[in-house]
Amino acid sequence: SINEETVELLQPYFNMEDYTLEYAKKVCGNVAGLLSWTQAMAVFYGINRDVLPLKANVAKQEAFLSVANAEYAKAQEALDEKQAELDKVRAKFDAAVEEKMDLLNDAETCRRKMQAASALIDGLSGEKVRWTQQSKEFKSQINRLVGDVLLCTGFLSYCGPFKQNFRKLLLKDLWEAEMRAHKIPFSENLNLISMLVDRPTVSSWCLGG
């Protein structure tokens, strides 16, 4: 029930020199309590005058916040539903892309196999002549195989301790002449190294010093 007029009527008393708590205590304790109460009520009115609009505003803003939270919850629920639908569609899309890539890879594999088969067929058509010639060469190699093996075994058995010049003398001048004399076929300019050992082994020897 305190209003602004009441507070204004109290101001002259508040301004009096003897309207203090200490002076009132000298007169009477009850009077001091009443004086203190009047001052407190005046201060309370001033504070309450500023606080009440703030309280009203807080209540108003809380109502707005409640409505906003309800709208937010509703929007969040709708967003969650759309996100779930998006996740399903994205999963289907990813599966479709994966299937597409598998099909493309299969198609590319088939294309490469088809190209390889076509190249093989084209190559085989041109290899017939070479294979025919090579077959004749194999027959000739078989006929010369006895003499080539004889030269190799002779080289392994007798030429090891000697130098290159003497080895060449034995192979070219003596043994091949004997082979011709006995009509034993052999390969002219026979490469004993390639016949006796493969290239990787020779490379390992070179690496080993």
CA distances for 157 relative to 57, 79, 174, 207, angstroms: 117, 92, 15, 27
Q: What's the pLDDT tens digit per position in 2-18?
A: 888 888 888 888 888 88
**Residue 170's pLDDT band (cuts 50, 70, 90):** confident
Q: Give CA–CA dist 194/191, Å, rounded.
A: 6
Q: Give CA–CA dist 126/121, Å, rounded.
A: 9
Q: What's the pLDDT tens digit per position in 64-114?
A: 999 999 999 999 999 999 999 999 999 999 999 999 999 999 999 999 999
- The H or E element containing residue 180 is helix 176-181
Instruction: Please tell me the predicted confidence (pLDDT) of residue 20.
Output: 81
Q: Residue ranges of the domains in the chain?
A: 4-81, 135-208
Q: How much is the average pLDDT of 38-59?
A: 87
The torsion angles phi and psi of 184, rounded to 5 degrees, stand at -95, 115
Q: Give CA–CA dist 117/5, Å, rounded.
A: 110
Q: Give CA–CA dist 209/156, Å, rounded.
A: 22
Total Cβ atoms within 10 A of residue 60: 10
Q: Give CA–CA dist 27/203, Å, rounded.
A: 125
